[in-house]
Amino acid sequence: MCRNVIASTVLVFCILVAILLVQLHVFQIKVLREDTVLYLERVRPGFHFSLGFMHSVEHCPVWDHLKVDDDYRMITYATEFWSSRTGLPYAAFGDETFRAEGDHFIIENMHRVIPAVIQWVDTEYDNTLRFGDGREFKLASLAGNTLLGMTIERVRLGYYLYYRIMYSTQ
């Protein structure tokens, strides 16, 4: 009996230490004006996602493709766009490649470090987040038409678990 109590106590202690001390990396979306977290997704190197929107001037779709590198930075590695006029890419730079594919253009072999994505989302611009596994969110449906910040953050396991439990409908 005494051994079971001691073993249980040690186990609970180890779990509590892990919850309080273990850290992990997450993709975080925040409503910047309110400083509230909208979404957390655990990430590892190689995690892929894409951000799509309707260009406000050219009224054509644009998709930026990003991944998390070994240092947990967001890296834009490709962009797709359906026009090459006002405010849109027109050429590749350095080792990047520019090509036409069907009705749109693609710049690939990019390696642009993005510390944060700060984006005004609006239903009019169809701002969309698509994960590599196919899950997709209309960003304006998360918090309405507002300014969002998307970053990779390091958080404690306890915070992550609390968030996932409290907001498990996402």
- pLDDT tens, residue by residue, 48-79: 999 999 977 777 889 999 999 999 999 999 99
Residue 14 included in any domain: no
Residue 15 included in any domain: no
Domain count across the chain: 1
H or E element at residue 20: helix 2-21
Q: Is the dihedral of CA 149, 152, 68, 164 positive or negative?
A: negative
pLDDT tens, residue by residue, 94-111? 898 888 888 888 889 999
Dist CA 31 CA 38 (whole Å): 7
Q: Which domain holds residue 66?
A: 23-166
Classify 136 as helix, strand or coil: strand
Indicate the pTM of the whole model.
0.84
